[in-house]
Structure 1
């Protein structure tokens, strides 16, 4: 392991002193604090405006000792870590007694993941000589669109001065948050997919010979699983292509300003972004597109609904949550006179 760079040494020192450091991961940018310092973790919640019972994910270095962070670790957890770490997979395990409940929203579980971004790995290796954990939800105000560049983080937090440092690692490669699989109740419920992401349920099943089930009522609370999440300030509506064509024409005729995220050939409003019609490229660009369209001053952000097959599960999950609470927005715009 190479000695840390001056910037990484500074970032590690800030974390060790109880400060907040935003850093890039391959999924989105995280807002990090020392996972074993409840006062530091409380700063994350305060900066984000995050509910206290909503757990955060603990990021660990590639050679981390899982038994320090979790207990009753099933063999399947080690198999998944060997297959997908470093990478965009979070595992929910029983929390070890020495780990503060602050990172778990008061639950007896803990979410663990090892990110693959080189800047994140360098930070985790510098922090407590690679033995620490960095509690880090996405580096944005609670419920907002997650950041995939350092600029997005500055846009969220510079006015408040809540962050001590933002590490810039370019645009996040994956672009949506990690897959979360619950392994804390394996004996009674099997694995449970709490949040879809880049790593699919089928990919998990290929490693542990068990297909993760859908979340049940007793499943642990996990990051990014509230019905309304990842939402810009402008209302979002997602429509199938044929319906969207008609909606675009109707809204244009009624004088409404539309921002469009699409992949098909469509009659384009003034503000539009076309994303690739393949899940990895769409996911990579999605949050940046939502942020750009949010700044267009539109009455609504229309999104062309992606395909429904399994490879698009993570993208569709994020879009469904972004559009939650905006039901009826198109109908309302068409039936009210413009201001």
Structure 2
């Protein structure tokens, strides 16, 4: 059964933290907030407990988990043979939304790593997450706390929505909205130069400055196709998807994008399909001038001029699409700059790569 406990995001009640950490130590699951999304955690040193994550989520067994630590002194329990250049990056970037792929320690069970010789590890920048890890006394393995394939949870209510009908023992720490709204950036530092596996709040521009080298960006990191192997979460399998069909419109020119969204809506309306729009406030204001679109439901995704507002609301917007009675959602693509790269990675994957682009 689910046990939900509200806590302050900055000054959590330590009695609640202690109760949640007891769940971790006893091999049960805890859903907890990080600065990115809510995670579904278990004792990373307990392979059976980690199997509970896969069972609850319906997660493929070769899809590795991210191990969360609170202090750098815990890193050697998780990883080994870490170059000094990477340690210098860690001291600058952690705690924060940056996950590194490192050679795994002998303590890491295969359930955590997907049977690989590497491990994904980070230190979350959220007081509740850090308090939980410290109270538990073990690094915590935690993917996002959604059902596999569904939009990630940025609210405790999203976690409850996914698991309320399941017979699973889970403690949920409800600390309100996650700060960034998209999962951590993942970079493979076992490769030279480093390879971006999943974009996130730690932007590509910031990574290049931090590592002082160019970063390899495969097409799958942009959300254009899947990777051949699940080297890290979010790579190989379909993720973030609403149950409602979704298409993503993309144009480099804003005026052309407006026309593309308009024409795409009209095309689906002519096919007798019920349509909803997932668009920015600026685009909603423009499309409101078209009387033929006046009855189309609009889910506001934030502001085009502030892509962080889009990231924060993205997964809730995708979940909202399933709450309205439509056949298809049409999402507005944004520029792949800063956190926009992470937004487009998620949108493209959520649509199953169903993209409508301007003709060049």
Verify same fold: TM over 0.5.
Answer: yes
For residues 40 and 66 of structure 1, the distance between their equivalents in structure 2, rounded to whole angstroms, comes to 20
For residues 273 and 13 of structure 2, the distance between their equivalents in structure 1, rounded to whole angstroms, comes to 53
Which residue is equivalent to 2:203?
Answer: 200
4+ long deviations beyond 3 Å: 215-220, 252-255, 267-270, 308-311, 325-328
Which residue is equivalent to 1:74?
Answer: 83
SS in 1 for 2:67: strand
| Structure 1 stretch displaced more, 109-118 or 156-165 | 156-165
Superimposed CA distance per residue, residues 152-174 of structure 1 (whole angstroms, 9 cap, x where no aligned partner): 00000011032421000111110
For residues 313 and 127 of structure 1, the distance between their equivalents in structure 2, rounded to whole angstroms, comes to 35
Choose which of 159, 162, 168 in structure 1 pairs with 2:165.
Answer: 159
RMSD over equivalenced CA pairs, Å: 2.1
Q: Work out whether residues 4 and 122 of structure 1, in 8 Å CA contact, stay in contact via their aligned partners in 2.
A: no
For residues 142 and 294 of structure 2, the distance between their equivalents in structure 1, rounded to whole angstroms, comes to 38
- Structure 2: runs of 5+ lacking an equivalent: 1-10, 220-226, 251-256, 288-292
1:208 deviates by 2.1
For residues 62 and 294 of structure 2, the distance between their equivalents in structure 1, rounded to whole angstroms, comes to 42
Choose which of 245, 252, 260 in structure 1 pairs with 2:269.
Answer: 252
For residues 105 and 227 of structure 1, the distance between their equivalents in structure 2, rounded to whole angstroms, comes to 14
Which residue is equivalent to 1:319?
Answer: 347
SS in 2 for 1:147: coil
For residues 335 and 78 of structure 2, the distance between their equivalents in structure 1, rounded to whole angstroms, comes to 38
Pairs aligned (count): 321
- Structure 1: runs of 5+ lacking an equivalent: 329-339
Task: Confirm whether residue 280 of structure 1 aligns to residue 308 of structure 2.
Answer: yes
1:83 deviates by 1.6
- Please give the TM-score of this superposition, normalised by the length of structure 1: 0.89
Choose which of 182, 187, 198 in structure 2 pairs with 1:181.
Answer: 187
For residues 218 and 295 of structure 1, the distance between their equivalents in structure 2, rounded to whole angstroms, comes to 33
Q: Work out whether residues 276 and 328 of structure 2, in 8 Å CA contact, stay in contact via their aligned partners in 1.
A: yes
For residues 155 and 259 of structure 1, the distance between their equivalents in structure 2, rounded to whole angstroms, comes to 22
Q: Work out whether residues 145 and 230 of structure 1, in 8 Å CA contact, stay in contact via their aligned partners in 2.
A: yes
1:102 deviates by 1.3
SS in 2 for 1:280: helix
For residues 77 and 4 of structure 1, the distance between their equivalents in structure 2, rounded to whole angstroms, comes to 35
